[in-house]
Amino acid sequence: MSLRIACDLDGTIADMDAALQREARRLFGPDVDLHASSAAPIESAEDVEEELAAESPSAALAAPAVPVAGRPLTQGELRTLWTQVRKVEDFWCSLGEIEPGAVARFAALCARHRWDVIFVTQRPSSAGDTTQRQSHRWLQSHGFAMPAVFVNGARGRVANALALDAVIDDRPENCLDVVTDSNAHPLLLWRRSREALPLTVRDTRIEIVSSFGEALDRLERMTAERRGRRTLLGRVRSAIGF
C-alpha cells in the first residue's frame, strides 16, 4: 500500500514571507522589514486568517533566525499590508518556491512511488480566483499536475479522517495537532536552529527535518521500509503455506 501524505504550503514549499516583504516595500518604502516589527508574531497564513477574523491590529511575522536590519512597520501599517494583500489579484499565485525545484521533485516521487498526496492550507482569500484554485494553479506552475488542495483544515483531524501516513508542516503546533489527533507521522520542517525548537515538541514522536528535500528523503525511506516489511510478510506466508 502506498503512502498517504499531507503537505502544508506556506513556509513549507511556498515562500509567503518574501511575497509579503515585497508588498510591504512597495507600500511603505525600501527600508521596511517585516521581521523587525515588535508587534505580536504572526508565523503563517493561518495566523493571518485568525487575526483578520478577530479584527486584531497585530499582523507581523515571526522573528527569523538571523539578525535583521530595517524599519519596523507600525501596527497600522501591518494592518494596511494585510488589507492590501487581500485586494491583490491572485496573490497566492505570485509566491516563489522556498527550495527551487522541490515541488517538481515531489511530483516525480509521487508518480514513482504511487504516493497519494493532499496539500493543506489555511490561506486568507484574495481578489481573483478562490484560494483553492490559486493554490492549484501555483502547484501546477511549479510542476505538480492535478494537485488536491484542502483549505481551512486542522491538520490532526485531516490526518485522522484520511488515515494519512505522514504530514509535512513547518509549524510545531500543527505537528502537535497531528500527534494528538491521529496516527500519522509528523515531519516538522524546521529551518532555524535546533536550540530554537519549542519545548513542547521535544520528546514527542515529531521528526525534525531541516529542508523539504530532507523530508522527501525521509518519505522515500518510509516507502522502502514498508516494502521491506511487506516482502518479509510474503516470505513468511509462503513458508507456512498461505
Q: pLDDT digits over 45-84, tens only?
A: 555 555 544 443 333 343 334 445 688 988 899 899 999 9
Domains in the chain, start-ordered, CATH in brackets? Answer: 4-14+96-239 (3.40.50.1000), 17-91 (no CATH)
pLDDT tens string 155-210:
999 999 999 999 999 999 999 999 999 999 999 999 999 899 998 898 899 999 99
Cβ neighbors of 178 (< 8 A, separation 6 or more) are 155, 156, 159, 167, 169, 184, 186
**HEC readout, 167-202:** EEECCHHHHHHHHHHCCCEEEEECCCCHHHCCHHHC
Look up the pTM and report it. 0.83
- The alpha carbon of 161 is separated from its chain's Cα centroid by a whole number of angstroms, namely 19
